[in-house]
Amino acid sequence: MQNIVIKGGARLTGEVRVSGSKNAALPILASSLLASGRSVYRNVPALGDVRTMHKLLGELGAEVETKTEAKAGGITFVDTSKVENVEAPYDLVKTMRASVVVLGPLTARHGRARVSLPGGCAIGARPIDQHLKGLAAMGAKIELEHGYVTARARRLQGATIVFDMVTVTGTENLMMAAALAKGHTTLENSAREPEVEELARVLNKMGARIQGAGTSQITIEGVDELQPIEHTIIPDRIEAGTLLVAAAITRGNVLVRDCLPEHLDAVIAKLRAAGVEITPEEGGLRARAKGDLKPTDISTQPFPGFPTDMQAQFMVLMTRAKGQSLLTETIFENRFMHVPELQRMGADIQVEGRTVAVRGPTRLTGAEVMATDLRASASLVLAGLIADGTTKIRRVYHGPRLRSAGQEAARAGRRRPTRPGADVKGRTKPAAAATRGTTAAPPVPARMLTLALPRGRILEEALLLFREAGIDLSAADKTRAGRRLIIPVEAAGIRVLIVRDTDVPAYVEGGAADLGIAGRDVLDEQGRDLYEPLDLGIGRCRMVVAEPEGRPVDEAAPFHLRYATKFPEITRRHLQSRGVVADVIKLYGSIEIAPLVGLADRIVDLVSSGETLRQHHLREVETILDVSARICVGRAAAKLHGDRIDSLIKRLRAVVR
Ligand code: EPU
């Protein structure tokens, strides 16, 4: 555990080099377990998590050596010839959740792995159910006992696996497992992060047969054996982004060397929107900022969207902007731990659910603050750079990388380039990297809008309506989507989430979907804080009160009547408006039988033809609501993507009957 002390106020100028990617290095080091022999990795960043991974490989029986060379950065040699132990102990996993990436390789090569469950961490619960679901689909027997997960399989078998959500280490774990499995594996809804692509590159070098990494569908043809390799790790896009922000907030002028601009499109777009000048130059990206910055909204998304790992740093940038910015965190549920610390330094930030509003510009003042996760710590270093006076960051667990990034940034003004033209840019996509260095700004992908759609009839009718409006979402059709629940439709710029009808408002209100389609029954019952700009006129039905034929209810009876329903809120409001005193019983289904078996006197339920009521000898007393499905939009989404949502609604409005 370390403290960092920063004296704020310097304008950063000069050049700084980006280290190797932490999140690429961790699974790559674990991939060494898939082969027997000595692998060599270059450009390995020197930081706490990497040292934990070295230690873990050592525990498993690998011989790990490290050295540092000026050109190659950190070099790690891993010899796995003597690996026999297959247990990742709690002590190591608890300090680094990413230790879980040894699960796939150990199971694939040794037929067994025992890995401590990671538990929660500073940024949320972070379960690993998707990793386990995938291994089970590949034939592994999974047991959870005493806080450990054990996976066993004589030989894993290829399978088709559909991730319920985009998970980076989940995709990596299963890709490694499938590399040695028997037969063909398809990973659907895979993470598209550059680190996943980099791991696939490494595995293919080892002899694996992987295609599609970097897209949401990855296919893997299992092989019997893999070989150790030598490899140089890609630069860290988050460190690069952090250094660009450091330059911008200090009104500086810094060349961030050895970064790959194609991994930074979303970050660059937002920096530019904020008024930061970003120019690709030979060997890197230059950031310059003058005058006031502009308020800019972000919503974190899986790659190629704006990375959650840059959210905290961007928040500091927005304290420099004139006006209000909204920052929405959609990946992790608890990633605002830096907010109270930034508030202590004078930032004007308000949290509302998963969105924060930052108002600026504010003058930050140095204070003693506490670090939580790595990125939160980076944001405090950034805040310290612009604060008046001295900032002391306590409880920094993350090792020298954070310190050196901070120090390099702080030193940048005094430094000459140490290694101009270093070899990184040619490592992955040489041609692209080279030309980008000298041409115009890199293209910025439009972020997909996320639409939550309920299963069943509304889904079918909504797809027809979208089609009429010229928006083809048929990939989300049940027969085409199969059991997939997240369906990106690139051509339409829309990512469809298939969810339960009653969950649509929660996804939209929570910012996980920008907009959704839900019945008026669901929306009225839940009464959430959403915009409902358009009734689509689909999924039509009625909400009615019904009672048994021949047993009419006396509303003025001296005893409490009992109404059974799935919609207690709507029912209570209706009863109140009629002045009827009654008990309301919430049921989840089979409402019609409640009066027949004596649980209720009346029911409130949805009907379309009324046939089910008739079959149960119930008669309609009155209609209390005409129901059809509506578009609902979250407040943050309306602010962040108002123009695109408006134009979508305009197209739909033109075809709604
Ligand atoms: N999730 C599940 N079940 C799973 C897996 C994930 O519910 O089986 C949920 C998580 O709880 C989270 C979301 O899915 O809400 C995404 O998690 P993901 O699995 O993608 O995260 P990760 O693989 O554990 C990696 C990076 C993180 C980065 C995230 C998101 C590594 C070693 N870590 O984590 O990096 O924030 O992807 O991009 O690659 C960091 O570098 O500081 C860091 C936290």
Same domain, 346 and 472: no
Summarize the chain as % helix, strand, coil (round to 5).
35, 30, 35
Are the CB atoms for 571 and 621 separated by under 8 Å? no
Task: Report the pLDDT value the prediction gives residue 130, as an integer from 0 to 100.
Answer: 94
DSSP string of 364-431, one letter each residue:
-B--EEE--SHHHHHHHHHHHHHSBSEEEEEEE-S-HHHHHHHHHHHHGGGPPPSSTT-GGGGSS-HH
For residue 585, name the pLDDT band (cuts at 50, 70, 90): very high
What CATH number is associated with residue 607?
3.40.190.10
DSSP three-state, residue 655: coil
Task: Report the pLDDT value the prediction gives residue 3, as an integer from 0 to 100.
Answer: 87
Bigger pLDDT: 579 or 203? Answer: 203
Task: Report the pLDDT value the prediction gives residue 528, as an integer from 0 to 100.
Answer: 87
DSSP three-state, residue 182: strand
- Residues with Cβ within 6 A of ligand 1? 22-23, 26, 97-98, 124, 126-131, 165, 167-170, 191, 195, 308-309, 331-332, 373-375
Task: Report the pLDDT value the prediction gives residue 147, as an integer from 0 to 100.
Answer: 87
Rounded CA-CA distance 586/592 in Å is: 13
Beta bridge partners of residue 280, listed in sequence order:
285
Mutation test of ligand 1: which of 99, 168, 330 has the most ligand atoms closer than 8 Å to its C-beta?
A: 168
For residue 132, name the pLDDT band (cuts at 50, 70, 90): very high
pLDDT for residue 350 is more than 50: yes
pLDDT for residue 606 is more than 60: yes
Taking residues 192-213, report their average pLDDT: 97
Task: Report the pLDDT value the prediction gives residue 133, as an integer from 0 to 100.
Answer: 96
For residue 415, name the pLDDT band (cuts at 50, 70, 90): very low
For residue 146, name the pLDDT band (cuts at 50, 70, 90): confident
Rounded CA-CA distance 515/194 in Å is: 28
Taking residues 517-526, report their average pLDDT: 95
Rounded CA-CA distance 231/39 in Å is: 8
pLDDT in tens, 223-240: 999 999 999 999 999 999
Residue 632 bears catalytic tag:
no
> 377, 398, 429: which is the final residue of a domain?
429
Task: Report the pLDDT value the prediction gives residue 162, as an integer from 0 to 100.
Answer: 95
pLDDT for residue 559 is more than 80: no
Same domain, 509 and 582: no
Q: What is the residue with the minimal CA distance to atom 36 of ligand 1?
A: 309
pLDDT for residue 191 is more than 90: yes
pLDDT in tens, 92-125: 998 898 999 999 999 999 999 999 987 555 555 5
Task: Report the pLDDT value the prediction gives residue 125, as an integer from 0 to 100.
Answer: 56
Task: Report the pLDDT value the prediction gives residue 120, as an integer from 0 to 100.
Answer: 53
**C-alpha closest to that of 311 among 394, 242, 264:** 242
Same domain, 508 and 483: yes
The number of the ligand 1 atom at minimal distance from the alpha carbon of 375 is 42
Same domain, 267 and 394: yes
Mutation test of ligand 1: which of 123, 331, 335, 485 has the most ligand atoms closer than 8 Å to its C-beta?
A: 331
Average pLDDT, the chain: 89
Task: Report the pLDDT value the prediction gives residue 95, as an integer from 0 to 100.
Answer: 86
Same domain, 395 and 517: no
DSSP state of 293: B
pLDDT in tens, 611-638: 999 999 999 999 999 999 999 998 888 8
Same domain, 288 and 300: yes
Task: Report the pLDDT value the prediction gives residue 438, as an integer from 0 to 100.
Answer: 33
pLDDT in tens, 430-479: 333 333 333 333 343 457 899 999 988 899 999 999 998 999 999 999 88
> 232, 262, 282: which is the final residue of a domain?
232
Task: Report the pLDDT value the prediction gives residue 119, as an integer from 0 to 100.
Answer: 59
Q: How far is the CA of 191 from the centre of ligand 1 (A)?
A: 10
Tell me what percent of the residues of the chain surpass a pLDDT of 90: 74
For residue 506, name the pLDDT band (cuts at 50, 70, 90): very high
Which three-class secondary structure string do you get for 509-523?
A: HCCCCCEEEEEHHHH
DSSP string of 305-334, one letter each residue:
SB-GGGHHHHHHHHTTBSEEEEEE--S-TT
- Cβ neighbors of 454 (< 8 A, separation 6 or more) are 498, 499, 500, 501, 504, 517, 518, 519
Q: What is the residue with the minimal CA distance to atom 9 of ligand 1?
A: 126
Taking residues 532-540, report their average pLDDT: 92
Domain count across the chain? 4
Taking residues 167-175, report their average pLDDT: 98
If phi > 0 it is left, if psi is from -120 to 50 it is alpha, else beta; for residue 560 that is beta
Taking residues 295-306, report their average pLDDT: 95
Same domain, 383 and 464: no
The number of the ligand 1 atom at minimal distance from the alpha carbon of 238 is 41
Same domain, 484 and 593: no
Taking residues 61-81, report their average pLDDT: 90
Domain that holds residue 554: 541-625
What CATH number is associated with residue 13?
3.65.10.10
Same domain, 400 and 440: no
Are the CB atoms for 210 and 196 separated by under 8 Å? no
Q: Which one from 121, 259, 541, 632 is the annotated catalytic residue?
A: 121
Task: Report the pLDDT value the prediction gives residue 398, as an integer from 0 to 100.
Answer: 58
Same domain, 482 and 580: no
Which three-class secondary structure string do you get for 248-282?
A: HHCCCEEEEECCCHHHCHHHHHHHHHCCCEEEEEC
Q: Residue 270's CB: how many other CB atoms inside 10 A?
A: 21
For residue 397, name the pLDDT band (cuts at 50, 70, 90): low
Is the overall model pTM greater than 0.75, yes or no?
A: no
Tell me what percent of the residues of the chain surpass a pLDDT of 70: 91
> 232, 260, 289: which is the final residue of a domain?
232
Same domain, 374 and 470: no
Alpha helices by DSSP H, 453-566: 457-468, 478-481, 504-509, 520-526
Task: Report the pLDDT value the prediction gives residue 643, as an integer from 0 to 100.
Answer: 84
Number of residues that make up the chain: 657
Task: Report the pLDDT value the prediction gives residue 440, as an integer from 0 to 100.
Answer: 39
DSSP three-state, residue 83: coil
Same domain, 347 and 420: yes
Angle at 628 between CA 627 and CA 630, to 5 degrees: 125
